[in-house]
Every structure is written in structure tokens, then in C-alpha cells.
Structure 1
């Protein structure tokens, strides 16, 4: 890798304001990386709900259908919104500042560099998967491609990790609690049935089961995101109330993992007072890859030979890896270093770019074409 040449390409990509509300810029980011990869590969383009994505792989299958890929390199090119100056990349010492530098355009571009160098030479099919909706859930990128039949054995998602590995990410359940009571004058509470009290008693039971942690812990957490009532008067008993819950759970949680939205709603109803109902809006599976899996071990060893500890990290937020994990496909997050994700001073550590590139290359070149779980 010629670092200065790579950084020039990275700066151009980081200047693209590829946010969810700018579909033309999402498409520009995807096409920019496809141009970076260059000709000589098969490119499948996808689109779902206006969100573009692409799958790139070597043309060596004599007209056969798309193969099951031994490895998929997954990179997302969308970013969260930022001020205009955040789309004017700048280098200060060993830091490259820009929206998306850490999360995760630089890692995605390294994946593209490695892909174009190796994809035609490896004894197994390798894919580069470029998506543009991870920041808004990934359902129109990674999930859409999986629904169209894209599949593989092992996936490396280029999320920032400073060459550590994320083999575990939490799932999520987002739910609404709705309470119904009987209105009345606030001076005569015995004549009414306060919906807000019912709701808060229910929330209290949930938070007793899932107390708010005071430090980082790998367990299920419940965030009370919103509480509201249509009541607008001090002297009125609320007849209705609603609360929003954001629940994050690891694969080890048998109450939530593997459950349907209906089953999760039934579980949450066990905490509810009479008059409180549950509606589950969204459920995403947790992600887990076996730490002793051969590819995981070999990727760690490749990073360690670059001088990095390659420790296991645990991600409390969601990840596109859950879409793979839910289909029995092993996936890990593995990317460059940096800091300031989603903040005004986001940056990538330039010193981690070449080691990341070398670790990916070594891993892919040493990997056997057959699976060895």
C-alpha cells in the first residue's frame, strides 16, 4: 500500500456527505469506491427503499450462479449528519479528521484496496459488500442483500476496532407501554384511575429486573426513552399514558434472544399492571461469533503479528453483524483505530491503516478454501 495515494482517495471519499437524507450522495459514495476498486470484477447493484448497495467479486465461475463466498468484506459508506466543516477532511499529525473517518469509510476503503489486490488470486471466492444504510438500521443494505440470496461462510465488517475483534454485539427490542385509566379531577384521585401511575409502576418493575448500570456491564439493559400523556392540566387525572423502552440484550439472555416480537411482548406483559398493554415495534437479534472458531483465531493472529493485542471487544449497540449471525453465518467487526464516533472531532488513526491492511491480506492469503469450524 502506498499510504499517501490511499489517503488522497480517502479524503475524496470522506468529502462526500453521504447521509440518509441525501440519496444521491449515498449513491456517489458507493460508486466512488467501485471506481477505486476498478475494472475486472463482477458488480451486482442493489437498491431497497432508495438505498443503494453493491456486491463485487471476481469473474471466475464460468457463468455459474453467484457463489457462496468464503469471506465477505462488508463496509458501510453512509454516515450520520454533521456540520459542513466535518465534510472537509483535514490531517493533523497522525490523525485524519472527518465525519465517517472512524465510522467507517477509511476501513471500508482499506477493504476495497485489499479486495482489488487479492480477489482474483485467492483459491476461494471473496466478496466486497458495500452498503449505505447501516446508520439507519441496515435493513436496506446488508439485510436486503441477504434476502436476495447473498451468503458466505465468514464476514469481516470494517467497523472501527483498532485491530481488536468484536465477536459479540447486543440485540435490541424497542417497545411501547400504553396505559389506560379513568380521568377525573385531580383533587379527587379516588374517583379516577391514574394511567400514569399504572405506567410508572410497570416501569419500576422493569427497572428492578434491569437496573440502570453505573458502569459498563455485559448484561441486558433497559432505557426509558420517553414518557408522555395527553393530559395538559395540573388538576386532571391522566386517563392515558405511554412510555418508550429501548432494551439491549446479549446472546446469553434466554428471556429475549431467539424470541419473536409477539413472545417478547408476552414476556414484557408479565411486568405490567392491569390496564397496561405492550406493543413491540422492533426486534433485532444479538450477534455472536465463536471465539474459538478457526477464522477468528487466524484473524487475531494476523493482527497480533502487526503488534496489536487483538483483544475481544463487546459492542453494546446494534450491528449489521446481527443479520449474518441470525442466519448462522459467523461475523466479526475488525477495523482501523480512531475516536470521536458521531461527534464533532471524529478521526481515524493513520498509524493503524497499514497494519490493518497487512493483517487483512495475511489473513486472506493464509485462509484455507474449505471451512474448518
Structure 2
């Protein structure tokens, strides 16, 4: 998003210098997006930011993202009983129990979790992001924790998903105590294609590039939900892709990798698109 922020800054300065259009343009540069935006965009929610439209400068390339999935981050914990490693039958190994629980969750994912379809977004998914347990190689572990990342579509039953994670444990590891803690949630968001901001963005892109701007969504989550869900601001996501290594890929992004980069031509094009978006919003009848 560094390139997107640079493009937005240049576009805002250019427009302010050259356009007589009245109206207020707000440029925000916040931290913490990768960790949920609790100390960044959420602060804007707390300050009750008001606007007619919003654009988040996520790397989207030749697409305009209208939606992102929600997330539920879970901390799973299993409690067993310790024993000497030479006599494991005297204990209850929490790591073994956790592995059984996580295996059952992986089996559940393709059958139950991936039952919905969305035109712009990938299916619901589950990722095991971390696991920790045990104190010493010759001791039966009496505690094990795991961090699980559930990504879900806008119409998912969030409480039902969490309940099912708990129910799977109840069926799978009957001789162990366990807990399910929700450590963080992110709301999904979706802006209808019929919203005027979509047409404004498409026109700006066509004027800047001579090409059509395709609609899409992102598998991850962004800060867009704060503006869309919490503040009621119609929101889209658009910005330059971090360059890939092969021509012709649908998603040639190296975003988040050590050698990520954005071409100067893409940056210049994005500035022009942003200027068109700003002009379209500030001159439209709202």
C-alpha cells in the first residue's frame, strides 16, 4: 500500500492545486492495517469520520475491489495430564488431542465451511496459523494451544461457525478439557455494483487508460469495512499492484515479499485514475 499512498498523495496535491471545485477531500494515512486496524482506521471510526465516498489504496491492479471477506481469529486450548515420557499411558497428551481436533477441523472445511459461493470472493477458508505445546521431550504435554484463522463470506453465520469449532472438539477429544477463545474479528464488507462510486471509478480508469476496469474482491481483509460497515460510507479498493515475475499472470503480485516493487508507469497511471476519481466525486450530484 506504500505505492498506493504515494499515488493518492500526489493526486490530492495535484487536484488541490489545479481544480477550482469546491468540496472537502480527506486523505488519511494510518498504521496497523495488517493487524486489523485497531490503532489506525478504527480510530477514525471513533472520531466519527464523515464522507460521501471512500477509496482504500489496496493493490488491485486493473480491478476495482468491491468486497472482502470477514475473519474470525480463534485461540484453541487443550488441557491434558502430564506424565513421564517413559510412561505416557499415565498421562493424557494435549498435543495428540490438539492434532486430532485440528485434523477434524481440516476435514470439516471442505464439506461444511465451503458451502457458499460468491461472485467476487473465494469460499470460506480455515488456516492453522500456529501451534504451541509441551515443556520437555521426555514429559507428556499437559497443555497445547493453536491459533486458527477462519475467513468467511458476508452472509456467513459467524456464531454458527464458532459453535461448530467447539462441537467438533466435543465429538473428537472427549477425554480432554478444551476452550475456544475468539481473539479478534473483522467484519466482511461489500459495496453494490449499482452504487454511484463504482461508475465514477470505472469512468476515471477508462479515461486514464483506455481500458475497462473489472470488478473483483480480495481474499484477505482490508480497512474498507471500517468505512463501509461502521461509518456507512460507500467504499471501494483500488491501487497499483506490486509487480510480479512473469507476464500474463492474472495476479502477478509480489506484495508482502522481500523484493516487492511497483513500476513507475503503474504509479503514474494510478495517480491519473485517482485524480479522475476525485473529480468525479466532487463534481457529481450527491
- Per the TM alignment, residue 283 of structure 1 is displaced from its structure 2 partner at its CA by 0.8
Q: Which residue of 1 aligns with 2:226?
A: 323
Relative contact order, CA 8 A, sep 6+: which one is greater?
2
| 1:178 is aligned to 2:92 | no
Counterpart residue number, 2:39: 140
Offset at 1:150?
0.8
Q: Map residues 1-373 of structure 1 onto 2, 5 A cutoff.
A: 100-101=2-3, 104-117=4-17, 121-122=21-22, 124-186=23-85, 188-211=87-110, 218-234=122-138, 236-252=139-155, 254-256=156-158, 265-273=162-170, 274=174, 275-305=177-207, 306-327=209-230, 328-339=232-243, 340-367=254-281, 369-371=284-286
* DSSP-derived class of the 2:29 partner: strand
Equivalent residues of 1:110, 1:353 under 8 A apart: no
What do residues 247-294 of structure 1 show as CA deviations (whole Å, max 9, x unaligned)?
222323x122xx5xxx76444312213422111111111222112222
Structure richer in strand, relative to its length:
1
In 1, Cα distance between equivalents of 2:266 and 2:149: 34
Taking a change above 3 Å as real, the CA distance of residues 338 and 240 of structure 1, as seen in their structure-2 partners, is: closer
CA-atom RMSD, angstroms?
Answer: 2.8
Cα contact 2:224–2:236 (8 A) shared by 1: yes
TM-score (ref. length: structure 1): 0.62
Residues 1:272 and 1:338: Cα distance change in structure 2 (over 3 Å) = same
**Bigger fraction of residues in helix:** 2
Partners of 1:118 and 1:152 in 2: how far apart?
22
In the aligned structure 1, how far is the partner of 2:10 from the partner of 2:164? 44
Structure 1: 5+ residue stretches without partners? 1-75, 77-99
The C-alpha deviation readout for 1:195-250, integer Å capped at 9, x for no partner, is: 2222122212211122499xxx801211112222134124x432211111122223
Separation in 2 of the partners of 1:228 and 1:363? 48
Change (3 A) 1:198 1:221: same
Q: 1:163, 1:356 within 8 Å by CA — same for their partners in 2? A: no
How many Å separate the matches in 1 of 2:161 and 2:68? 19
* Distance verdict in 2 for CA 1:189–1:338, change over 3 Å: closer
Taking structure 2 as the reference length, the TM-score comes to 0.78
Runs of 5+ unmatched residues, structure 2: 115-120, 244-253
> Within 2, Cα distance between the matches of 1:130 and 1:193?
50
Aligned residues: 260
Per-residue CA deviations over 1:128-147 (Å, capped at 9, x if unaligned) read 22223334432222210121
Contact 2:83 2:90 in 1 (8 A): yes
| Pair 170,110 (structure 1): closer, same or farther in 2 beyond 3 Å | farther
Relative distance call for 1:366 and 1:237 in structure 2 (3 A) is closer
